[in-house]
Amino acid sequence: MSRHLLVPMDDSETARRALEHALEVFPDAEITVVHAVDDLEAAYGGGPAIPDAGGREDEPDFFADVRDLAAARGHGGDVETAVVEGTPADAVLEHAREGDADAIVMGSEGRSGVSRVLLGSVAEAVTRRASIPVTIVP
């Protein structure tokens, strides 16, 4: 039975380490890398705009790095990518439920500065509310 892992991703070093951990520890798992765009933050200019649906040209630039890293690590499973809209913790948890993920592997922190203080710790919220195992990578 193959495992399905969800790896939340922003353009941070801790998120990259979480993906590297998932690729190393679960080389045959199906991995979905998900980027959550906070619609409220984007609407008020505090974050990236929410991409239009329509393929890879609308996805974050770092998704190309995700695919390159998976290929370089010889990942046997497929790495899917998705951009979801909503409060990051809620969006990650909803995507995990809808995608039948078996576990979540995520970095301990991503946001920094004022946005992290205002929004709280996404990793903490996901860990507290998830119904599946969550691995936090420092």
Range of the domain at 124: 2-134
pLDDT-based confidence at 54, cuts 50/70/90?
A: very low
pLDDT-based confidence at 51, cuts 50/70/90?
A: low
Q: Which of 36, 128, 135 is nearest to 83 (CA)?
A: 36
Region 27-32: mean pLDDT is 93
pLDDT at 31 over 50: yes
CATH of the domain at 122: 3.40.50.620
Contact 7, 19 (CB under 8 A): yes
List pLDDT tens digits, range 107-119.
987 655 554 554 4
pLDDT at 2 over 90: no
b/e map 65-91, b = 16+ CB within 10 Å: ebeebbeeeebebebebbbbebbbbbb
Distance of alpha carbon 136 from alpha carbon 138, whole angstroms = 6
Q: Note the pTM of the prediction, 2 decimals.
A: 0.82
Instruction: Give strand ranges (E) for 86-121.
Output: 103-107
pLDDT-based confidence at 138, cuts 50/70/90?
A: confident
Position 114: which residue type? V
pLDDT at 24 over 50: yes
pLDDT at 77 over 60: yes
Per the structure, how many domains does the chain have?
1
- pLDDT recorded at residue 40: 64
Region 15-27: mean pLDDT is 95
